[in-house]
Structure formats: structure tokens, C-alpha cells
A and B are shown apart, each in its own frame.
Chain A
Amino acid sequence: MIAVLALLAGVLLGLWLDPTVPAALQPYLPIAVVAALDAVFGGVRAKLDRIFDDKQFVVSFISNVLVAALIVYLGDQLGVGGQLSTGVVVVLGVRIFGNVAAIRRHLFRA
């Protein structure tokens, strides 16, 4: 419940403040968002599995974001930023799909 409220508060804050993304963060923000989404879906699934752990969630969330950003940064430095970003997005997307599938099985028994 708190999590949903916080998410809503963040969305409203983003709509209200309407900030612009600094150019330095431009390539990392989408990847970070996808990584965070992956962590959130994982958390939801873990909750449904009744193995949810606060600390684990927090750490996985932060480290997901950081690792994703780090990979993109590394890719940028190596000159393969675009491809590496695509790779990260693909991996995270696969994981999100898996988590959503697990959530679906939990909710609908199908």
C-alpha cells in the first residue's frame, strides 16, 4: 500500500515539477528505469511467493539500477553503448516477462 502511494506520489511529483533530464544522464535514465521496473516486478512476485524481503528488495533495486547504468556507461566508453543498452534492455525485458508470468500464475492460477 505504501509502495503504491509512494509510486503515485513520485508520478505526481514528476508531473508537477516537470523537470528536464540533464544531458549527462540522458542515456542512463531509460536503462535505470527499466532496471528499477525489473526490481519492482521481482518484488511483487516475491511478495506473492511470500518470500519478500525488505532489505533484499532495496539492495536489489539499487544495485539493479547502478549495474544497469554502469553497463551503459561502460558501453559508452567502449564505443558500443547502443548495442550494450539494447542488450541490457533485452535481458531486463526477459526478466520482467518472467516475473509478470509468475505474478499472473499467482493471481489467475493460469
Chain B
Amino acid sequence: MSDEHTQTGTGWPQPAGPARPDGPAGEPDPRPDAPDPDELSPLSPQGSPPGPDEDEAASGEPAEGVAAVAQPAATVSPWRRLSSATVMIGVLLGLLGFTLVVQLKTTSTDSSLTAARQEDLVRILYDLEAREIRLRQDIAALEESQRQLRSGEQGRQAALEEATRRADELGILAGTLPARGPGLTVRFEAGAAKPISAMRVLDAVQELRGAGAEAMQISGGDRATVRIVASTYFLDGENGSLVVDGRRLTGPYTITVLGDPATMRTALNIPGGVVASVAGDGGNVIVEDREVAEVSALHKPRPLEHARPVS
């Protein structure tokens, strides 16, 4: 603690000599706008009786002599005692309180780190770095597994698409799905002498299969329709009717077939083929091309009892 500090207590060197006179009872100088002697004459000796200048400025009136200094507090109203310096002090102290509280609050919010010692901070930092490395490894591992899962998902998706496609194909082949596409309708009209025999229809079906037919159905005169699949059988029924897969159809019969129309038409029209034999029996076969034929009848699949897939 320096000497000058102990003298003033305000951190400012006290000018040589006794202190300047204060107001009565130790109050701050109550006179408004009281000029500081330092300000008026910095070099003048301190502690001298106040000069006329100071009195004049203090009372706001022309000089009345030294007597005015004796009781200045009594002559001014309380509000006028709020000199600019007092206001300034108030403002500064208010600011101090404000900053103090703000700083206290700020410090109390994150006191854990600011109050920590250096070794603790180093240890915390070390821990954090180790944790960061661990977390980075975790991230890498998780990204790797995510990548694997994503590729696995893509593979599964492709497999699912493939399986769906195959299921569609097989469903059409097995007759469990309706199908549409280019094809033919083949209409068998019996002649007066003989009805259309099951053998002729079976011939036609085989011929069409040989020519690349992909889906077929046969419908009778009463609109009953049966899907023709690998296991479909044809029998001659009573009164010239036809039994297909246990259902009884009456003529005329119409086979709707999906496949390449030109090939199938050629196959049906070959010499000694279906058209020729039916015509020989006195019947008639009408083959029509269809841009979009529809095979909508479904075959009910039979549950497999004995056969098991070999995988």
C-alpha cells in the first residue's frame, strides 16, 4: 500500500497540504456546481480559505463575502443539493451494482469450469478428447453398419422385385393371376352332324401351346369360363357338351389365348391341323386377332401334398 493511497483512500494522490474544506458534518459538498479548487487553480496552495470566486459560483449570487460559506446547506433546497457530481456518483454506483449482479449471474451460470484449477481443466480436456475419439469410432462403426444395412436393403429390394416378377410370371402360368395382352380368340362352331369333340379342343390347345401361347381360357355358350392350365383336362360330356376341369360347357366354345397372334394363327391353319379337322367334321373354326385379349378366369391352385421344392 502506497503512501498516497493511505492518504486519500480513493486511489488518487492527495495534493500536498491539508484537505480541502468539506461541507458540514462530513457531507459531500452540498453546494451546487461547487467548483473544485483544483479546477480553478491547480497550482494554488490548498487549504486556503475559499476565495470570492468560489462563493460566487456556489451561491449563484454576487459575492457576499466569507459569511456565505459558513452555512451553505441551509440556504439551498434539498433538490438543488443533487449536484452533477452526486448524480454522477449515483449513476456510477448504479452501474456498479448492475455490472456486479450481471457478472455474478454470469459466473454462477458456468462456474464449474471457470472455477476449476488448471490441472482439473487439463484432465477434463483429456477426458473430453478421449471421449471424442471414442465417439468418433462409434460414428465410424455406425456409419459402416448403416452402409452395410443400406446395401443389404438394396439387395433385398432387388430380390423382392425379382421375386415379385417371378411370382407374376408363375401366377400367369399357373392360372392364378388374370392376364392381358395381344392374342387370338378361337371360336369353335359345331356342324349339324357332329358336335365338337374334346379331342379337337385338346388338339387346338396343344397346337396353341406349341405355338407359344402363354395364357388360355375357354368359355362355353353360356358364358361359363375355365382357365386352361397344365393340368386342365377335356372330356366329352353328354349331348355334345364338353367337360373342362369338371365344369360342363356347351357350344359354341371360345378359346381366348395370349401369345404371338401370327404364329398361333399359322399353327392353327396348317394343313391337317385343327381348322382342317374341325372343318372335316362339318364344323367351323373362326380365328380372330385381338390387340388386347383378356384372360380373366382363374384356376384355383391345388395345395401340394407330396411334392416339395428342392432348394
Contacts and interface: CB of A to CB of B under 8 A. Distances in A.
A62 B86 CA distance: 14
Given A42-B9, A98-B5, A62 B92 contact: yes
Contacts of B94: 6-7, 9-10, 13
Contacts of A54: 28-29, 83, 85-86, 88-89
A33 interface: yes
Interface in B61-114: 82-83, 85-86, 88-103, 105-107
A57 B97 contact: no
Contacts, number: 153
A10 B97 contact: yes
A102 B90 CA distance: 23
Contact of B97 (A2, A9, A56, A61): A9
Interface stretch (B12-20, B128-136, B197-205, B290-298): B12-20
Contact of B26 (A10, A30, A50, A94): A50
Contacts of A32: 99
Contacts of A90: none
B101 A15 contact: yes
Contacts of A15: 101
Interface in B27-83: 28-29, 36, 38-39, 82-83
A56 B12 contact: yes
Interface string A73-88: 0000000000000000
A43 B90 contact: no
A10 B96 contact: yes
A33 B103 contact: yes
B109 to A, nearest CB: 9
Size bin of chain B's contact surface: 35 or more
Contact of B100 (A2, A11, A43, A99): A11
Contacts of B88: 54, 58
A94 B97 contact: no
A30 B103 contact: yes
Contacts of B89: 2-3, 6, 43, 54, 57-58, 61
A86 to B, nearest CB: 12
Q: Name which of B19, B89, B106 has the most chain A CB atoms within 10 A of its CB.
A: B89
Given A10-B96, A56-B12, 16 more contacts: A2-B86, A2-B90, A10-B93, A10-B100, A29-B106, A38-B11, A42-B9, A42-B10, A43-B89, A46-B10, A51-B9, A55-B39, A55-B85, A56-B10, A60-B12, A62-B92
Interface of B: 1, 5-6, 8-12, 14, 19-20, 22, 26, 28-29, 36, 38-39, 82-83, 85-86, 88-103, 105-107
